[in-house]
A and B are shown apart, each in its own frame.
Chain A
């Protein structure tokens, strides 16, 4: 990628374009916020009584489960936004406008950067909605403002990593349909980790996966920052995963963007 003096202004132009798309067609953003809210209500009110009783510890029951499940729901929100990003990227790539961008003297990274930053903003909106609902149904973080800010930073890092990954996923496909299915596994990851129930109760193989997959240290870090549970080395591992996924997504996306458009 050549250094180009207009990287920032071109990226800002592309971001404005993506935000305009979101504003004009808000249904995707609403969908992205709606799915985790539905899961939150489902897990708290349908499963929460039973699951909460199984948590053990000093507090248990539905109220304890609300607190337990929030970090998992937050990651589910990030994963859901990834689906939206992959869809918009795939739609963009099927439109001729991207071919036009390629023949213009604009920073090549700007198209991708516009999508990534747009995706992070979309994720932040969805997380705000999810958090509002969580507070309404009785979620109360027990830690102080500094920890909340730290939790927001962790979420932002995660959103950044997942955004790059989903941009690459969106470009790797030929059709919008595939693009909307590819990031599905991200929605499942909070379930196959410590998002909804503690990993201790899982069978060995699954438990090994659950404890070593990227979302679990992120969930544990968020849980610690919001509820004061021990974080241990989860914080460091979480940041490492975010950096690794970001880098992988970025390099993959860039490679796909440089690819010969006639033979996608």
Chain B
């Protein structure tokens, strides 16, 4: 996270949306500092896309208050639109046009001017490795290429805040890694990213903060390590050279479980730096020689299961 986290890029309070009797969002609060990556994590039907639609002015909320780039989305949607870029879940490219024409179309709609627009289009074609196909109709392109063009089109106007609705859904592992790198580069350039994902690994790797959305409610919010500490199951594994040291350690840490076969001791812990320091101090105090030490924190799969109490879950680590 960079230091300019003073002004929130996105600020939402009590966001509500229902369709008929079906409540999609049931009072959501969000605060996304500028220049950070915020991941909204949840299973299908949790309300992720609806949230993105509301924040990006596509649909109106039934209740609540939303500011994006310091502008109210319902009162001044055009000011919000000028500051944001959106890449939705479904390809938002014009398949009848060529890749180059798509980018120039975006440049024209961002009022970049002819010369600047062409230069920006060229630059993005290079950056997303689309130069060879640039003059062919997008309908003939592969899905991965269309996705890259989609994101390139979002970037034409240099938006300060970018919404990515499941940016890597359906991508092969290599394309997914490319997408992650693009996102990191954008954040290095000071852009704020709001992304949704079903992939726990993705949120863990990319996001500064994660909000877990389930049935229209935020069930948890925090940094990835904070979330992991919310659930039990973490421990510190100590390994010893001989049985004597193991005996000494077992006497020091009551409640730890022994693994005599591999001469190891599992000490329950939240895996945080504080508790690790305490443990090291105790080892020092009892002058116990440790051969090896590893920390095992629960992964986000555990987090999701324990927070929502149901396994109808994200797709697991990708």
Residues of A near any B CB (own CB < 8 A): 2, 4, 6, 9-10, 13, 16-17, 20-21, 24-25, 95-97, 99-106, 260-263
Contacts and interface: CB of A to CB of B under 8 A. Distances in A.
A24 B59 CA distance: 33
B200 interface: no
B90 A4 contact: no
A24 B137 contact: yes
29 contacts: A2-B78, A4-B78, A6-B111, A13-B108, A21-B96, A24-B97, A95-B92, A96-B90, A96-B92, A96-B93, A97-B92, A97-B94, A99-B92, A100-B88, A100-B92, A100-B153, A102-B58, A103-B81, A103-B84, A103-B86, A104-B81, A104-B157, A105-B78, A105-B82, A106-B109, A260-B60, A261-B53, A261-B58, A262-B59
A106 B109 CA distance: 7
B50 interface: yes
Interface of B: 19, 50, 53, 56-60, 78-79, 81-82, 84, 86, 88, 90-97, 101, 105, 108-111, 137, 153, 157
A16 B104 CA distance: 11
Given A96-B93, A97-B92, A103-B84, A13 B105 contact: yes
A10 B94 CA distance: 16
B264 to A, nearest CB: 53
Given A2-B78, A17-B94, A262-B50, 9 more contacts: A13-B109, A20-B97, A21-B97, A24-B96, A95-B92, A97-B94, A99-B92, A103-B57, A263-B19
A96 B59 contact: no
Task: Name the residue in B82, B84, B96, B101 with the highest tally of chain A Cβ atoms < 10 Å from its Cβ.
Answer: B96
A262 B93 contact: no
A261 B94 CA distance: 18
B97 A95 contact: no
Nearest to B156: A104
A100 B162 CA distance: 13
Contacts of A99: 58, 88, 90, 92
B103 to A, nearest CB: 13
Contacts, number: 69
A261 B88 CA distance: 13
Contacts of B19: 262-263
Nearest to A94: B90
Contacts of B109: 10, 13, 101, 104, 106
B229 to A, nearest CB: 36
A94 to B, nearest CB: 10
Contacts of A21: 96-97
B91 A96 contact: yes
Contacts of A16: 108
B24 to A, nearest CB: 9
Contact of B86 (A17, A100, A261, A262): A100
Nearest to A96: B92
Return the 9 tightest CB-CB contacts between A and B, nearest first: A96-B92, A105-B81, A100-B92, A105-B82, A13-B108, A103-B86, A96-B90, A105-B78, A103-B56
A262 to B, nearest CB: 6
Nearest to B102: A97
Contacts of B79: 105
Nearest to B108: A13
A16 B102 CA distance: 12
Contacts of A4: 78
Contacts of A20: 96-97, 101
A159 B92 CA distance: 30
Nearest to A259: B59
Contact of A25 (B56, B92, B96, B157): B96
Nearest to B163: A103
A140 to B, nearest CB: 41
Contact of B88 (A24, A96, A106, A260): A96
A261 B52 CA distance: 13
A6 B81 CA distance: 14
Contact of A262 (B53, B81, B92): B53
A169 B60 CA distance: 24
A209 to B, nearest CB: 40
Given A24-B137, A100-B88, A103-B81, A9 B111 contact: yes
A64 to B, nearest CB: 45
Contacts of A96: 88, 90-93
A2 B75 CA distance: 11
Contact of A17 (B58, B84, B105): B105
B57 A102 contact: yes
Contacts of A6: 111
A2 B94 CA distance: 26
B295 to A, nearest CB: 43
Contacts of B157: 104
A95 B90 CA distance: 8
Contacts of A10: 109
Contacts of A260: 59-60
A183 B190 CA distance: 50
A198 B137 CA distance: 49
A193 to B, nearest CB: 36
